[in-house]
Structure 1
Amino acid sequence: MTGIVIIGNLFINPMAAFALAKLNFKGKKLIDWIVIATMMIPYHMILIPVYVNMAKIGWLNTFLALTVPFLYQSLYIFMLKQFFKSVPNELIEAARIDGLTKMGAFWRIVYPLAKPSLITMSILAFAGTWNSYLIPSTLANVPEKYVLVVGLNSVKDAVFENTPLIMAGVVLTTLPILIFFFIFQRQYIEGISNSGIKG
């Protein structure tokens, strides 16, 4: 689940951010404001509408219910948009003169330049998805579809008095995040500085 979410975020959010940063189209400012506004809404407030929609389309207790809600993240779009704004337009224009389309210029020129920001986004997406409890426990309530955190919580309820077992499970669920962070620590710090809010 976490792997699919990271791969989806590496495709969807950068394209949206690039469009908002570099392309001109009707309704761009409105979409930009919507992205910023959704950053201010806690996910708890939209959880019931998400649940109702998932139920209507028959996605409850499916893999899609555990991945699709994580694919759009306004914070990542905003962060990447700030980076893409710093990319000189001349690079894109030079690529267009060489015969690339706008999408070609994005994938071949701009996307590789965003590597530190993309790694930062991947670390945040990894930690957020891996540790997510509210969405998976709401949209999937059968043991076969439990994610690690939800499964660990069910074990805690079953063997409440076995503290060593529960703590061992907590340590094991924390290790992948620590390993992922330490591998990409340098790029993470670089990505945070590159994607910072610029005046």
Structure 2
Amino acid sequence: MNSLCKVAIIDYGAGNIGSVQNMLKRVGAESRLAKSSSDILSANLLILPGVGSFDHGITKLRESKLLPYIEEAVFEKKVPILGICLGMQLLTKGSDEGSIPGLGWIDAHAYKIERDDSYRVPHMGWNIAKPIVDIELTKGLHDAARFYFVHSYEVHCNNAENILFETNYGNTFSSGIYKDNIFGVQFHPEKSHKFGMQLLENFLGYSHA
């Protein structure tokens, strides 16, 4: 079934697209870069990658003119979407990193990571992401599942029911968020070997192909 999934990686000029495509290929899924309305609206699954600053990312997404079609797919057609790293933060209401509002699809905010000197910022490297709920996306993952992180801002949800994963780095933050068919992960599944492969395989399970 995976090879039949129409996975569209949203290409808005602020995403780490190549490595996401490569990992999807490793788990048997064909994907394409989404640069047009037809690319978005014909997809069974959407992935919103992201690297760089918050304001740059949300600005590039809006300038791409793809957002109305993404919203049509997500909210009218109920197409599942997965935000990765900055892509997850863009799903929230906003970030301390910038002044431009986020998409606001999930009631959460990205705060600057502030720790004592024993914790380096950015939070970079391997860490545990503990699944908080038992859903398709967390299938086969467990409390010792390790993923690769690179970020200087951490998301906190205003509603506990939106927390998908939690990670501790001198403080507990939401390393995964979700609401209905909207999902986001702070870590990079495409760089996280077997656990990242498992998560992406799980995401493919939401396809109606």
Q: Which one has a larger percent strand, Structure 1 or Structure 2?
A: 2
Larger Rg: 1
> Which structure has greater helix proportion?
1
State the TM-score, normalizing by the size of structure 1.
Answer: 0.23
Structure with the larger RCO, 1 or 2 (CA within 8 Å, 6+ apart)? 1
